[in-house]
Every structure is written in C-alpha cells, then in structure tokens.
Amino acid sequence: MTVLKLRSAGAVRLCLSVLLLLCALGATLASAAINTHNLGARYDASQANISFRVYSSRATRIEVWLYKTPSGAQEVVRYVLTRDAATQVWSKTASVATLKNSYGLTGTVYYGYRAWGPNWTYSSAWTKGSATGFISDVDNSGNRFNPNKLLLDPYALEMSQDPNTPSCTDGTIYASGASHRNKDSGACAPKGIVLAPITVSTGTKPTRALKDDVVYEVHVRGLTKSDTTVPTALRGTYAGAALKAGYLASLGVTAVEFLPVQETQNDSNDVNPTSTAGDNYWGYMTLNYFAPDRRYSSDKTPGGPTREWRAMVKAFHDAGIKVYIDVVYNHTGEGGAWGGSDGLTVYNIQSWRGLDNPTYYSLTSDLKYSWDNTGVGGNYNTRNPIAQNLIIDSLAYWRDSLGVDGFRYDLASVLGNTCQHGCFNFDKMDAGNALNRIVNELPPRAAGGGSGVDHIAEPWAIGGNSYQVGGFPSGWAEWNGKYRDALRKKQNQMGVETVTPGELASRFAGSSDLYGDDGRKPWHSVNFMVAHDGFTLRDLYAYNSKQNNQPWPFGPSDGGDDSNHSWDQAGIAVDQRKAARTGLAFMMLSAGVPMITGGDEMLRTQFGNNNVYNLDSAANWLDWSLDSNETNHQTYTSRLIAFRKAHPALRPLNFYSASDTNGNVMEQLRWFKPDGGVADAAYFNNANNHAIAWRIDGSEFGDPASAIYVAYNGWSGMVNFTLPWPGAGKQWYRVTDTATWNEGPNAVALPGSEAFIGGEWTVYGVQGRSLLLLIAK
C-alpha cells in the first residue's frame, strides 16, 4: 500500500506539473516570439540605416554615443533616443550615409549608451566627468543612473574589448561612490559592435536523443592551448577546437560542452602571466550574453569571433557532435558591491545596472543593495519578465544564429526564483519562473530525438531552498550531484560514509527516486564523477585533500570544497588507476547520460588543486603528451564508450520496468547478492554490505547481447560472485575487469575477443574495489 500511495502522489504531482506548464505556455504565448522589440543595434535589409533600440523603464534620457575606434578615443557623434511609452523601448535610427559624410564614420561602428534617471537628472550643462545633475548614487527606488559611465548594450552581438586592458588598467572608472562617480569611462569602456549579417554555415545539427549522448565538458582555451599538433596561431581558439572534432568523435563523444564562451573579463590574464590575482580563466562572470568571447578567436576583427565560432560549430556538427555551452544567468560580470570609502554604495556600472537596475537585478527589500544567492555577485533578477526576455532572446540567438544544440545552466536554481527583491524562493511549480519560460519557449528535444534543445541544469546555488537535485520541472535534465556523491563515498570512504546498496542501485538504474515522480526519465540524470569544478578523475583517487596553495603554475587558488569524498588509495599508483577505471565504468554502465571532463580520458591531473578557476596556465591546459598509462586509459575510455553505444540496454528510454500488452510487468533488471541470490530489502538497506551485482535483460531492448551483467565489489578484499542465468543456450564472456591485473591497452576487450567465463553458477572472484562487466552470448 505504501508503494501505491507514493505512486498516487507522484501521479498527482505530475498532473499538477503538466497543468501548470500548460498554463504557463498559454500565459507566455504572446511573448514566445524571439526579441519582439528588436533590441540591439542592427543594419536594415539595405544596410543603409542602423537602428539602436534599448530597454529602460526608469530612465529619463538615453543617448547613444558612436565611436570610430574601440578604445582610447572620444565619440564622433551622439544621438538622443526616443522612448515608446507602451514598451519602454528607447530607439534611434541613424543613416549610414550621414555617419559617413557628416562624421567620417566609415567601416565598423562602435557604440555605447549614457543614461540619466531620477537619481541623476539630465542637465544640458552636464559634461563628461562632471557631477551636474547628481542627486545620489542610489535612490529609494533602486535607480543607479550615472551618465559618466558609458554603458554596453545588453543586446550587443559582439564587444570591442574587455573593460580592463593593458592600456586601461584602472577598474575604478566604472565605479560609483564619492571617489569614483565622476570618472568618465567612455574612452576605455567596451563598446558594442554593429555587425553586418554573417553567413558562415553552422552545418546540420545532430538530432540524436539525449539518452544516447556522451558529454565531454571542456574549456575552449584549455582544449588546445598546449596541443603541439595544432598550429601555434590557432591554439586555444575556436578554430583550434574545431581541429579536435575528429579526435572527440573517435573517442566516442557525442556532445562537447564548453565552459562559458560568452564575453567576460579575461584578456587581463595575460598582463602578468605568472600571477593568479584576479585572473578569470573559467569565465563565470558574463559581460554580455550574445557575444562570443573574442579571446578565443584567432580572428579578432569585428565579426571575426562570430564567424570563427560558427565555423567551429560546423566542424563538430559535421563529425556528428552536438555543441553545448555553459551559460550563467544567475549573476553578471558587473558583480556585487565592493569596498572603498563608501562601503556598500560602491558598485560597477557597465551595462544593465546603469540602464534599469531593479529590472535586471534582485535587490534587498529597501532596493539599495544587491541580493546575493550565488556568492559571486548580486543575483540576476530571473523573476522579472523583461530580464527573462533577455535570457530567452540570448538563448535563441545562440541556438538559431550560432548553431548551439543545448545549454548547461550555471547555478540554475536561481532561474526558479519566484520573487524579485528582498527574498529568494525556488518553486518549480510556479508558471512564471524563468525555468518554465525557457522550456516553453525553447522546446526541449523529444525523448526519441529530433529537433529541440537539450536543457541541463546545475541544480543548486547557495542558501535558502536552492539545493534542488531532482527538484526541477519537466523538460529539464540535471547534473546529478547525488549520483556523484553517493558513488564517491562508496568507492572512497567505506566505513566513514554511509551508503546503502539500495542507494547505489537507485543511482546505477537512473535515479528514479529523483526523476520518476514528475514524469522525467533516466536520461534526465546527467551522471558524473567529476566536473570542471573540483578534482579531475585522476586527482579524485590521488589526493586526500585539496592542494590549492601551491605556487604558480599549479596555484595558488582560493576557495574550493573541503569535502571531496576523495582518497589517495594509500598512495599506491596501480590502485589509483584501478579506481579511475572503476569510476569511469560506473558512469558508462549506468542509466542516464554520462559526462566526463576534458582530459579524464587520459588521466589528466590538476596536481590536487580543486578550484582552478584562476589558473590560465600550462598546468591547467590539457596536456597531450601522454605516457603509456595515460594512453592505456585513453584506449580504455574509448572502448568503454563504444560498448555503451553498442548496447541500447544501457541507455533505457524509461526506467528499468515495462509492461506487456496485458499489463503484466516484465523484469528488465534484477539485482543480486554476491552469492547469486536475489537482493532483497534487508540486503539493500544494510549499509554494511558493499557488494552488489545486476543483470539487464538485453532482449527487452533489442540489444545484441541477450544479457549484461555487472558486479561491483566495494570491499577492500576479494569477493566471489556467483553468476546468474545468462539466457537459454548462452554463456558469460568478460568485457572488462577493472582489477589491477587487467591493465594495458586491452583492458576492455574488443567485440569478438571477450574471454569465456562460464554459465550459470560459475563463481568469479572480483578484486577489492573493482568492477566486472560480462555479456551473454
């Protein structure tokens, strides 16, 4: 009866979820069209005119300032924009002929905005760098207008340069407060670039179902910066990454997931290459949500980053690989408050904050300061419909114009916020949150594949009810942090952390306890042992604690989690490699979508640093000079991926149960104790049991193997497993055993070369902390 009650409750929740999503779809239908207000700067069809359009509900005056050069010069012309009272969109159309003939503005047009509002009123006597019209840095309505700060268009398609450059090192020119408010930022501030249409093809998008993907998370720069097979000028660039498409395809990767590639402050990394202070390598401080980062382009001319990005996407698409990008809509690169003589009144004003602060940011209840639920700056106001529009519009631009197939959303719980100012509350059932708008207006890919977007959440943030693994609405896949933690604990912390065989079984079988109650499926669980944020796969089994205070180039890095569930395997190298093989096998043999981090296939190390966000160094870039152990692990990875792809039973569309035409449940998966007996509740619930095995009936999936058998021994010593029935007329053959005796290039047998083991009741000894994989044939 308990099971029936749980199923009934799940059905109710599913119905409510579907109902609310349908309501949300109807509610947002009018805004479902992309960028309905044509925000941004665009040429018309004849390229005879440029329209400038920007949103602000609170400004009293906005001007667009045009420049001949990206930096170091003053404007050549300025125009006053006109406000549409119905839409709060400010606009101006400029004639290209006038710009050329009257102002000598030919070629690329660079632009930015200056805005006035209630806290800084307009006066014709105002000049750059003056306080004329100033009332306060922030008023009781949250306005932070400051005309001394040139503002980047939130809808700019490319940026001219970073805010801080070797010739513009003073970051205080963007700040508010008594010491900084009158500093003019115009000459140094990044400008928007008015782009002419770009026609470089992004190729044909793969339509593969998400359940069939293998995701490879990697940094664009780190992928090739140290790769000597890539031409020097292309290393660390989009063009360089394109040259790795063939390699990733041969590895078996079907989706490459790039760390943030939208513009961020990172050119300053090169100002002092041996210093980590302030370096932004990962890129989680977005300055513009539309522009591909110029630093990763070998062609930095206007339009060059966009063209090179599109060409790279085509290279991956031609290899059958999807392209995902990591997006950061929970905070921006403007950041939160920082110190100085004015304390919390000092904020950077570079874009959104200077145009409409309370629209684009969540604020405290008095509207004076940022509300911070991320730990890295004030929250983006994901509850506001206008701020949501920018999210939707930028996602659609990357999908439609830049060829992206899916998105990983950083700290995605912030997208589920249901209030704007003075609070935070995640509610997946709320029809008006950003989560539901995203999946309604950018439809997810269907279960069986086809067109659509793959939406993947990092389902946590900081504080409140932001930890939401398993708590996202329909249409969302998630990084399954509970999968990672449970398997790490079981593998590395026996006797220290409690993980029952039942929890292991749930994780291996797709985490139905997390995703089955709201209609989601196993493939909504993205299974991972490590990610960019933390240890590498190799380091997870080689260090007991983080090693972040090392000197350059291995550190120092501040922060980093102190609870990694890691273990150095008593310093025994052969056991460390065994553990890495076992951890990788966990993912490739589990229901769900496996994700590996770039370099894990070749045992990459970060030398124990678990927070390398600031290390733009050779120690952090992928090292392609491999020793024999690393080459062997690379082969092991590719063969294990190939095995997964060859066996649909490992990639179930639904959780491991099915019914025949009469409604009778057919057993697709059975769990076993080491002695061959079926695992019951008593065995599953006993945390002192550390060995579990399971048999998948391949015939239910049209699998070439009639059965697949996996045994995991989490004990420290050998455990004998009695094998189950392999099927009528079948015998068991070994694909891999992760034990120390099975190292080398053939640790995973090629199809047809699997070693004969025996039939039912055969006893097989599995080494401590090892995994066995058999197929029946």
Known catalytic residues are 410, 458
User: What is the C-alpha to C-alpha distance for residues 325 and 709, in angstroms, rounded to an integer?
Assistant: 35
One-letter amino acid identity for 402?
Answer: L
2's enclosing H/E stretch is helix 2-28
Beta bridge partners of 67: 110
Strand 669-672 relative to strand 40-43: parallel, antiparallel, unpaired?
A: unpaired
User: What is the C-alpha to C-alpha distance for residues 296 and 307, in angstroms, rounded to an integer?
Assistant: 12
One-letter amino acid identity for 754?
Answer: E
Burial class (CB in 10 A: 0-12, 13-18, 19+), 2: exposed
CA angle 265, 270, 276 (to 5 degrees): 80
Cβ atoms of 449 and 207 within 8 Å: the answer is yes
End-to-end CA distance of the chain: 40
CA angle 566, 567, 573 (to 5 degrees): 130
Q: Which tokens in the block code for residue 748?
A: 């995973």
CA distances (Å), 178 to each of 135, 136, 139, in order?
12, 10, 15
Cβ atoms of 382 and 413 within 8 Å: the answer is no
Residues 6+ positions from 520 with CB-CB distance below 8 Å: 474, 476
Residues 6+ positions from 373 with CB-CB distance below 8 Å: 330, 362, 379, 414, 417, 424, 461, 462, 463, 464, 466
Closest CA to 540 of 627, 608, 612, 494: 608
Cβ atoms of 55 and 88 within 8 Å: the answer is yes
Strand 770-776 relative to strand 40-43: parallel, antiparallel, unpaired?
A: unpaired
Residues 6+ positions from 679 with CB-CB distance below 8 Å: 501, 505, 671, 672, 673, 692
Cβ atoms of 156 and 259 within 8 Å: the answer is no
Closest CA to 504 of 519, 524, 484: 484
Preceding omega of 166 cis (within 30 degrees of 0):
no
- Where helices occur in 213-318 by DSSP H, the ranges are 220-224, 238-242, 245-251, 304-318
User: What is the C-alpha to C-alpha distance for residues 554 and 339, in angstroms, rounded to an integer?
Assistant: 29
Cβ atoms of 561 and 543 within 8 Å: the answer is no
One-letter amino acid identity for 291?
Answer: A
Cβ atoms of 192 and 112 within 8 Å: the answer is yes
Q: Which tokens in the block code for residue 199?
A: 């026609």
One-letter amino acid identity for 326?
Answer: D
Closest CA to 400 of 31, 29, 34: 34
Q: What is the DSSP string of 529-594?
A: S--SSS--HHHHTT-SS--TTPPTTS-------S------GGG-HHHHHHHHHHHHHHHHTSSSEE
User: What is the C-alpha to C-alpha distance for residues 345 and 666, in angstroms, rounded to an integer?
Assistant: 65
Strand 61-67 relative to strand 110-116: parallel, antiparallel, unpaired?
A: antiparallel
One-letter amino acid identity for 489?
Answer: K
Cβ atoms of 174 and 185 within 8 Å: the answer is yes
